[in-house]
Structure 1
Amino acid sequence: MKKNTILWLAALCSTLTFSQILDKKNLKDFTGFFNFHYEEATDKIYLEVKELNREFLYVNSLASGIGSNDIGLDRGQLGQERLVKFEKAGNTLLLVQPNLKYRAITNDSLERKSIEQAFAKSVLYGFEIKENKNNIYIIDLTPFLMLDAHGVANQLKKEGTYKIDSNKSALSLSQTKAFPKNVEFEALLTFKGNATGKNIKSVTPTPSLVTVTQHHSFIELPDDKYQMREFDVRSGAISMSYLDYATPIQEAIEKRFIIRHRLEKISPELKLSEAKEPIIYYLDPGTPEPVRCALLEGASWWNEAYESIGFKDAFQIKMLPDDADPMDCRYNVIQWVHRSTRGWSYGASVVDPRTGEIIKGHVSLGSLRIRQDFMIAQALMNKPFAERDDNDQPMLDMALARIRQLSAHEVGHTLGFTHNFAASTNGRASVMDYPHPTLKLNDNTIDFSDAYDNGIGDWDKVTVAYSYSQFDESTNSKQALNSILDNAKTSGLLFITDADARPKGGAHALAHLWDNGKNASEELDHVLKIRAQAISNFSKDNIRQGEPYTRLEDVFVPLYFFHRYQTEAATKVIGGLDYNYAVKGDGQDIVKAVDVNSQKEALTVILRTISAEALVIPKQKLELFPPRAYGYSRGRESFSGQTGVAFDPIGAAETASDMTLGLLLNAHRANRILQQKSLDDSQLGLEEVLNQVLQMSFGNHHKDNFMEAIQQVINERVLIHLMNLAIHKDSRFQVKAMANNAINSIYGDYLSDKKKPAKYASQYGRLISEFREHPEKFKIDNAPKIPDGSPIGSDYCNYNEN
């Protein structure tokens, strides 16, 4: 009897204690996927946990950012998604993240348990159980919400040492909401620190106090009816993978699947059917016109691809309702993001880590990108403001055409598609390429009418077909998917993605960033002609009346370096490879060296980009570029130089030649040229490349003093890059020998030629002697830094560091 009384009293106390929280009059109650309660007096959120060991998705993100591309903490930035569950340990609820990288897909519970015990899991937080009634646990969620889950402090390390200041941080109730399948929380976090970096100082009112809004989402996992689709390297789909230790020994242990949205027909038997749940993307209502219409139009292109596989209106674009939160997992969002400098746009997704199903797509579009595209058009056009200052439409048309393509591109990533940098060899086969404006030259007039594409590409339809086609039960899906890719190959469509296309380390001769055409060297020749004509046309009428001439210099920057990306493309042909992501039995070419004639043609055009004739700015144009006006200081997108306040045209030529030489005389490229020549004596050899570089540089002289000054900075960059190649840690022994021979020949064959007296022979000789005596002290002498470009942050100097 006494024992029962004690138990009854304990239960009563528990009930009374429980009611002390839930029955408080000043609580604000939220009912949804998790019920929770907010107490304003203590600024706390109490969460009800009704089911232990129930898995759900936890996602952290930033609702408000810092506004610096360099720091990389943007408004609307998705963080990490984690599959988690609550487990009870004594009087504590642990938020546990299982390890999904290692699995055992089997009905054998002991085998599954062996894998779970073999690899570590992560406990994200431990919560004291405040109260318990009928196995409903109440925990104080507040300390967890106030953690730096997004890693802001770590991201700020280069700008100073920061940590959360709890006295200046609080929960944010405006977007803290509960819905049947998700709950959303926000916290305003202030990071206090000693600001040392220039970036944080440029974007915060008080750099020692940096305040952002962090968002947390608890999301119900989708049901088990989603059909996973195997990844194929030829498909253009983004993949996810894990190791399955229950796999038979004779099969691959790593399982790869694509990520995609769930999409099913209402009527699978029909050739064209509406979807049970269409994929709907919502545009940020804060996007201004005319950008708003351009983004809506560009994103909507994808519906054509879905219709081509039998889905009617399966992909839709709408405006985000005014009362909706863009971080809410129920919305796929295209968000217009502002930064202090131009920067990348990107598409990210919340993905079910079990299956690869995309739950939320989130596109972040940098708002300054369109202004750069406008300025590129402004630089290329002939006297756009000669007659009136409101002649903006031609430039605006080109900029909006680019922003339409950008919208489609970034949405494509959130649909599950990766880049295709070989698409430009098939015309405009994919919005997942990086497009350079396609311009024509007609009787010395530049035609902008077809600068960018205006629709979805053939490759985009292929990758949509592979990822989203729905097959009936009588169809062998693997054969059907192979057929889609085989048909793409038969049509001549190519697919090559990121690392293979990058100028830094990439070797593919057909896959490049920001290029056009089937033949990279022919297109470079065309781009150089466009550039030359635009420079010839350039005048004071490329800016509006009343603007300082300093703005004219800013507009001239993208024009002077207009050839930079096509130069990258053409340079990759030298020592380049032609290959595919071939699989056994698909009939694709596997790998081969680029033929010698193509390499020689490319070299001929590339060497024009280090000619004084191409790099000199006409003397009459220099009159347009006075010292910078008061209040218009140089920035990261300005010309650099070594003449103080004066414009430095010799420095501009030095920068441009350094760009080409950094690409051409790269150690990895030189090693490939050497290797190709050793396998095929008819191939282009490194000695031939170096000899032609020397002939184009030290072999040229000019009577005009200005042209000769340009030539000398080109020559200096050639010598510096040869020295770098001669001692680079990645250069092969033979490459170093050939580079050293080339350095020797500079003095022996060029500087000592009495018929061509070298005015600066002694200085070159001094540099070479110092290099010979102390090669270990050599450090590549950087040219004036090239302005940011692609769309920001391209650093060619780092391309050649030892």
Structure 2
Amino acid sequence: MIWGKISLITALYCFLISGLQAQDTPLKDTRDSTRKNTEKSYQSLLKKAKTSEGLFKIHQSETDYYFEIPLSLMEKDFLLVNKISAVPIAINEAGINKGMNTNNKVIRFSLNGKGSTVWVKTIVPQAEAPAHDAIAQSVKDNFIGSVIENFKVEAYNPDSSAVVVKVNKVFDGSEKSFNDVFTDIGLGTSPKTSLSGIEHIKSFPQNVVVRSLLSTSVTEGQNTIAVSVEVTTNLLLLPEKPMQPRFADNRIGFFTTPRWYFSDTQQKMEHRELITRWRLEPRTEERSQYLSGVLVEPARPIIFYIDPSTPSQWRPYIMAGINDWQKAFEAAGFKNAIQARLVTDTADFDGDDVRYSVVTYAASPKSNAMGPAVVDPRSGEILESDVIWWHNVMTSLQYWMRIQTGIIDTGARKNEFSVEQMGNAIRFVAAHEIGHTLGLKHNMGASAAFPVDSLRSRSFTARMGGTAPSIMDYARFNYIAQPEDQVTAITPSIGVYDRYAIAWGYRWLGDTTSAWQALKIQQQWIAAHAHDPLYHYGEQQSGQNIIDPRSQSEDLGDNAMKAGEYGLRNLRRLIPQISEWTTAPGETYYQAGKLYMAAIWQWNTYNDHVIANIGGYYLEHPVQGDGKKAYTPVPKNTQQQALNFLIKHLFTIPEWLFNAAILGNSFAVKDTPLGPFEYGPYDMKREQQYGLLYSLLNDERLLRMLEMESIYGKQAVFTVSDLLSACRKTVFTPTIMGRSLSLNERLTQQNYVDALIVSADKMMEKISKKALTPAATLNIQGHNQPGNLPQLCDLTPRAFGEKAEATSLRNIYVTAMTRTSGVAAAKRGELYAILQVLERNRDKGDTDTRNHYLDLILRIRQHLQLNQP
């Protein structure tokens, strides 16, 4: 019986095989027939066409465009790159500008079926296995490409070595398979095909470039806005042999692209991140010299072109910012590795060509800059990078320099700086952005390497190059130096960490050194500097949830309290001079109001830096043998110093800041889409203090304190009860004394109580389940797609920006079931203790004070659901 079944299966198998074999000849004949038929139509199809040579032949017949794709390029990897080339004002104001990369994907062309159709598949080249391993077939089967488009073969060329396909539909807005720009930039609309079309197509030796005008309309309320965007799509042939990859180490800040490794010998899949970097290699004839320590030029240097639309006075400074990285590449063994060039009439340059890296100058009110890169996701190789330079970056630089260094630098006191003054600031921003295009992330922990008092030293700052050992920090300008210090090196520059990071990622280790072997060597390099703070990498954190106080934006030095004291001394000197620095005879006080707003936010920033120390952890990425700890609570005495600073500068609102003479002429001013808003000083005090107090009492901060108490014990750490009892004593001492309260004292009590009530109410709200969003699926203007990893620099001063929630790169989870934690008990207990103080003193003080107490009593009782008195 069993034999009978086997025989039946065998017979069926033979039948199927014979059927397939029988079909083989007709299939071939059909394909040959198809080719013969289409050969006849090749000449007639393209009789009137204009043809250009390149990677593909491009044929244009009136408004129809055809690609002549060689069969030799079928199944080869191409990178499809979409960039913005021109935008209308409607989206310019939202920060969508020329040069921005909206979406990248790896694609392959495949000749399908009987040779009458070309399919386009999108590939995610993330998985790899040794070709000889059994699992290699499974990897191939489980990571196939997905078909996103098809083209009818219109003709074969005369020798049948290429097919001709009409490509209009993927570039003129009819289909979204190649380009879905309006979704990528967040509009969520489709192109109107009658108002969209191809402007031109160019073919180069390694890529094809298509420029399209795509139009849509967006309806908001009762208004419909027309939006037309010019988009450039590049089809870039990826290298046949990918660059030898390098594995990431989270102790060095490089952008990465993911890679999964499978093999027969594994007991689990190996997940690695590949760092993104340029392919810098010595010439073959100079490799022995390189390995012996001689500086050599790379076979292919990194070249950045300066957008011709860049104002001429800024070009030398942007070029200097690019060339400043040369000293970092010398640490990696290369000379002349990075170059800045102007676009001349004779330059071999085309701005549409993705092979050229450009510093693109965007005329826009946006005050930002960014350094996106086009990356080969198979290896992490950076193929091309751009810096998007928004014109209004200079506005931000001017406010920072006046507020942070105007007291020590007379050149930073005017509404308009000299070309040299602004140029030097532009140079530093350009160098920072170029760092991103080289693969480097922000290193927000770098500035903590310098002792605060060393930043007051003229010799130290000159020797170390400014404010931090890395230009990739947001260590803006030296607000610590005092007028008597005569410090002149007050601007960030490329430092010790930057040279170290470039050497770590770019030093060539030879053709035969695998990524696994290279990682062992690179780990030895890290170990050599493991305990030197100059080489420390501190990853960027969410501004709404700083865990490691060493890694903050816009902070300086190793002690936020000491740094803040120096900063406030200079700020107090600045306030009386605002009108003189900003307003000439006959002018309004608009600029004065704007600078005053920036000054208030600088005070906020100093307090914010200090708050991060309370409930903070020093975060490391320890490895076996380095003696480091992953989570170390900020020392108890440091947290107490932080609270003392806040008692002095936050709980007691500074009169010199909020009762300044400038208020006779102007309130603090912030520009908005509805026009300038003038903020009254009482409102500003209330808003600014409340926001900082709410941050101080943040649930996650207090939960981190409880975590450390559970590990180290109550006596060894700064506890939640330490914090709340000290706050209560500070805020309600005037009440305990029985005297009438000033307006500011009442304001502080209201803010403190309200911050407790609101945060406690939120803690008890019904918790809704939140789904985790995989990082690979995020698409912020397409920039988190594989192979396209920029870093948008927040160059908007806090005074003029909008707070936005950010995703922390280090996910430390302490918030499960918050309503059952000790934080809920602590906040309710604190409110009850305050209630007792208020009820004992409710009849003391003047009428305003007694009304204030009654209001707080009613609020607390309502929150605690106690019977009203």
Same fold by TM (over 0.5)? yes
Q: Which residue of 1 aligns with 2:258?
A: 241
Further displaced range: 579-588 or 344-353: 579-588
User: Is the 1:105–1:112 contact (alpha carbons within 8 Å) kept by the matching residues of 2?
Assistant: yes
Which residue does the alignment assign to 2:672?
Answer: 635
Comparing 614-623 and 666-675, the one that deviates more: 614-623
Q: CA deviation at 1:702?
A: 14
Rounded Cα–Cα distance in structure 2 between residues aligned with 1:385 and 1:551: 19
* Counterpart in the other structure of 1:59: 81
Deviation at 1:306, TM superposition (A): 0.8
Displacement of 1:774: 11
* Residues 1:114 and 2:138 are matched in the alignment: yes
1:418-450 Cα offsets, whole Å, 9 max, x none, are 11111001231111111232135546x897843
**What does 1:304-319 correspond to in 2, within 5 Å?**
304-319=327-342
1:166 equivalent among 179, 193, 202: 193
The counterpart of 1:152, out of the listed 178, 181, 184, is 181
Instruction: Give the aligned residue type for 1:153.
Output: F
User: Hey, what does 2:462 align to over in structure 1?
Assistant: none
The 1:503/1:46 distance shift into structure 2, 3 A limit, reads closer
Match of 1:340 among 360, 365, 370: 365
Alignment-mate amino acid for residue 279 of structure 1: I
Sort the Cα spacing of 1:637 and 1:405 in 2 relative to 1 into closer, same or farther, 3 A.
farther
CA offset at residue 367 of structure 1? Answer: 1.8
- Say if 1:8 and 1:540 are closer, same or farther in 2 by CA, change over 3 A: closer
Q: Identify the residue that residue 189 of structure 1 maps to in structure 2.
A: 214
* Distance apart, 1:601 and its partner CA: 0.6
Q: Give the drift of 1:710.
A: 3.3
CA, structure 1 residues 505+10, in 2 after alignment: closer, same or farther (shift >3 Å)? Answer: closer
Write out per-residue CA displacement over residues 160-201 of structure 1, whole angstroms, 9 at most, x where no aligned residue.
x6321111112112xx3211111111101011232449xxx8
SS of residue in 2 equivalent to 1:81: strand
**Is contact 1:44–1:140 with CA below 8 Å preserved after alignment?**
yes
The question of 1:695 aligning with 2:783 is answered no
Other-structure match for 1:725: 759
Q: In the alignment, is residue 650 of structure 1 matched against residue 679 of structure 2?
A: no
2:522 to 462, 481, 490: 481
Aligned residue identity for 2:273:
R
* 1:451 counterpart (478, 490, 510): 490
Q: 2:742 aligns with which of 705, 708, 714?
A: 708
1:188 match: secondary structure: strand
Task: Give the letter aligned to residue 518 of structure 1.
Answer: D
Deviation at 1:756, TM superposition (A): 5.0
Secondary structure of the 1:212 match is strand
Counterpart of 1:215 in structure 2: which amino acid?
A: T
One-letter amino acid of the structure 2 residue matched with residue 650 of structure 1? Y
- Following superposition, the deviation at residue 7 of structure 1 comes to 11
CA distance in 1, matches of 2:194, 2:77: 34
CA RMSD of aligned residues (A): 3.5
**Which residue pairs with 1:460 in the alignment?**
498
In 1: Cα distance, 2:534 partner to 2:668 partner = 50
Structure 1 residues 755 and 762 mapped into 2: Cα distance closer, same or farther (>3 Å)? Answer: closer
- How does 1:231-380 map onto structure 2 within 5 Å? 231-246=248-263, 248-250=265-267, 253-266=270-283, 267-270=286-289, 271-321=294-344, 324-342=349-367, 344-378=368-402
1:681 partnered with 2:714: yes
What displacement does 1:718 show?
Answer: 1.5
What is residue 141 of structure 1 aligned with on the other side?
Answer: 167
Shift of 1:383: 10
Q: Give deviations 1:620-639, integer Å, cap 9, x for gaps.
A: 321021698xxxx9427998
Deviation at 1:256, TM superposition (A): 2.7
Q: Deviation digits for residues 132-182 of structure 1, max 9, x if unmatched?
A: 24152111111111245554333565x6x6321111112112xx3211111
Name the SS for the 1:493 alignment partner.
helix
Look up the match of 1:795: none
What SS does the corresponding residue of 1:562 show, helix, strand or coil?
Answer: helix
Distance (Å, rounded) in 1 between the aligned partners of 2:142 and 2:131: 16
Contact 1:237 1:416 in 2 (8 A): yes
Tell me the equivalent position of 1:739.
827
Match of 1:609 in 2: 650
**Matched positions, count:** 740
- Structure 1, unmatched stretches of 5+, are 202-206, 641-645, 776-802
Q: Tell whether the 8 Å contact from 1:575 to 1:594 is kept in structure 2 after alignment.
A: yes
Match of 1:216?
233
* Offset from partner CA, 1:82-103 (integer Å, 9 cap, x none): 2211112233211111232333
Q: Is the 8 A contact 1:421 1:433 kept in 2?
A: yes
The 3 A distance-change label for structure 1 pair 707 and 368 is farther
Q: Which moved more, 1:572-581 or 1:126-135?
A: 126-135
Which deviates more from structure 2 when the two are superposed, residues 615-624 or residues 254-263?
615-624
Q: Contact conserved, 2:411 with 2:421, CA < 8 A, in 1?
A: no
1:39, CA displacement in angstroms?
Answer: 2.2
| Aligned counterpart in structure 2 of residue 424 of structure 1, from 447, 461, 473 | 447
What one-letter code is carried by the residue in structure 2 that aligns with 1:124?
I
SS at 2:303's partner residue?
A: strand
TM-aligned CA distance change 1:327 to 1:349, over 3 Å: farther
Residues 88 and 554 from structure 1, CA distance in 2 versus in 1: closer, same or farther, beyond 3 angstroms?
same
- Cα deviation for residue 479 of structure 1 reads 4.6
CA gap of 1:541–1:469, structure 2 versus 1, over 3 A, is closer
Q: Deviations over 1:47-88 (max 9, x none)?
A: 434332222222122112356577453211113332211112
Partner SS for 2:654: helix
- Say if 1:440 and 1:447, in contact at 8 Å, map to a contact too: no
Cα distance, 1:553–1:225 mapped onto 2, change above 3 Å? closer
Conserved? CA contact 1:30–1:178, under 8 Å: yes
How far residue 345 of structure 1 moved from its aligned partner, in angstroms, is 1.7
Rate the CA distance shift 1:397–1:89 in 2: closer, same or farther, 3 A. same
Letter of the 1:144 partner, please give it.
V
The 1:700–1:76 alpha-carbon spacing in structure 2 relative to 1, beyond 3 Å, is: farther
Task: Give structure 2 stretches of 5+ with no counterpart.
Answer: 1-28, 451-467, 764-814
SS in structure 1 of the partner of residue 287 of structure 2: coil
Which residue number in structure 2 is paired with residue 29 of structure 1?
A: 51
CA 1:474–1:551 in structure 2 vs 1: closer, same or farther (change >3 Å)? closer
Q: Are 1:389 and 1:544, in contact at CA under 8 Å, matched by a contact in 2? A: no
Among the aligned pairs, what percent are the same residue? 21
1:574-626 deviation line (CA, Å, top 9, x unaligned): 11111312222334443311110011111111332242226852253210216
Query: SS where residue 525 of structure 2 aligns?
Result: helix
**Which residue of 2 is the match for residue 511 of structure 1?**
551
1:770 aligns to what? 862
8 Å CA contact 2:246, 2:275 repeated in 1: yes
Comparing 251-260 and 428-437, the one that deviates more: 251-260
Counterpart residue identity of residue 684, structure 2: A
Residue number among 636, 650, 671 corresponding to 2:703 in the alignment: 671
For 1:701 and 1:281, locate their aligned partners in 2 and report how far apart those are by CA, in whole Å: 65
Corresponding residue for 1:621?
Answer: 662
Report the AA paired with residue 491 of structure 2: Y
Contact 1:383 1:538 in 2 (8 A): no
CA distance in 2 between partners of 1:7 and 1:459 (Å): 61
CA contact (8 A) 1:550 1:627 kept: no
Q: 2:857, 2:480 → 1: CA distance?
A: 46
* Distance change >3 Å, CA 405–CA 10, structure 1 → 2: closer
CA distance in 2, matches of 1:774, 1:139: 78
User: 2:31, 2:526 → 1: CA distance?
Assistant: 69
SS in 1 for 2:534: coil
**Cα deviation per residue 1:9-61 (whole Å; 9 max; x = unaligned)?**
9776433312122222xx22121111111222x34344434332222222122
- Is 1:99 equivalent to 2:124 in the alignment? yes
Q: Is the 8 A contact 2:615 2:701 kept in 1?
A: yes
For residue 658 of structure 2, give the secondary structure of its aligned residue in structure 1.
coil
Q: Aligned partners of 1:333, 1:30: CA distance in 2, in Å? A: 25
What are the Cα deviations for residues 476-506 of structure 1, in whole angstroms up to 9, with x where unaligned? 744532232123324333434445x333233
- Listed as ranges, the matches of 1:527-538 within 5 Å are 527-538=567-578
Matched, 1:78 2:170: no
In the aligned structure 1, how far is the partner of 2:510 from the partner of 2:67? Answer: 48
